[in-house]
Amino acid sequence: MTTPRFAGRHVAITGAANGIGRATALRFAQEGASLFLLDLEEGPLTATAEDCRGHGARVAIATGDLTRRNVVENAFATAGQIDILFNNVGQSARERSKPFHESDPDTWQFVINVSLLTTMLVSRQVVPGMRERGAGKIINMSTESAFYGDVGMVDYASAKMGVIGFTRSLARELAPHRVNVNAVAPGAIRTRAHDRLPKEVIDKVRSSVPMGFVAEPADVAGVVAFLATDDACYITGQTLLIDGGRWMI
């Protein structure tokens, strides 16, 4: 029997209660990792943790709003060593999304805080230890929507391109310390936000994907897991698009 890929590794995942974060937590649990899962939503977070324990993983959780510096600092104060961090929290303003000329700066602030500030605040907690140990993997969540430039999503695109700038700059800083920093940029993934869309919108999205289907959260989890392995040790500062071929670079 081969040793699971993440045996002995401590993995922190933000936004782990639902969707892509939950699928990634399960993937790491199945592959032998110990987990530190963070989210706003206590009930679903507890359920994810239980499901991960069902795969034999050791799991700690922290509930709170990760846009708040003190919440992040308190959560990581007793977290111990983190070898792999998946900065997954983020969202668009969804129902508050508007064309830019009608948009509200308070909404931009919300989107930038939840998508970019959380990524920076959480990374700040783990980077000193990774530098010191000369090892670590950070994977940040961007979106294909920022490459495409979706209408009504100026704030989201700005925040998620910010995540890519953060990824590149931090990757260059940490490369001499053998810490890899990369991003993933999913296209249409079947999560709860997607499930709330009208059928016509889903059909339109599907028909714009060369591969012809909307992917599952697990399809993103597999890519995140790959970037967290030593098979990806010579990849840093990159953004991997996971979008069925909609955007090719």
Ligand X SMILES: NC(=O)c1ccc[n+]([C@@H]2O[C@H](COP(=O)([O-])OP(=O)(O)OC[C@H]3O[C@@H](n4cnc5c(N)ncnc54)[C@H](O)[C@@H]3O)[C@@H](O)[C@H]2O)c1
Q: How far apart are CA 243 and CA 246, in angstroms?
A: 6
By the rule CB under 6 A, 188 interacts with ligand X? yes
Q: Which token pair is 132? A: 């010191």
By the rule CB under 6 A, 59 interacts with ligand X? no
By the rule CB under 6 A, 21 interacts with ligand X? yes
Q: Which string of b and e fits 150-174 if b means at least 16 CB within 10 Å?
A: eeebbbbbebbbbbbebbbebbeeb
Q: How far apart are CA 21 and CA 155, in angstroms?
A: 22
> Quick check: is 148 catalytic?
no
User: If you ran DSSP here, which 8-state letter would residue 2 be given?
Assistant: P
By the rule CB under 6 A, 89 interacts with ligand X? yes
Q: Which residue is listed with tokens 């289907």?
A: 213
What is the CB neighbour count within 10 angstroms for residue 176? 9
Q: Considering only residues 41, 51, 216, 219, which one is a binding residue for ligand X as defined by CB under 6 A? A: 41
- Measured from the CB atom, the residue of 101 and 192 that comes closer to ligand X is 192
By the rule CB under 6 A, 119 interacts with ligand X? no
Window contacting ligand X (CB under 6 A); options: 37-45, 50-58, 102-110, 226-234: 37-45
Window contacting ligand X (CB under 6 A); options: 26-34, 38-46, 50-58, 205-213: 38-46
Binding site residues, ligand X, CB under 6 A: 15, 17-21, 39-41, 65-67, 88-91, 114-115, 141, 143, 186, 188-189, 191-194
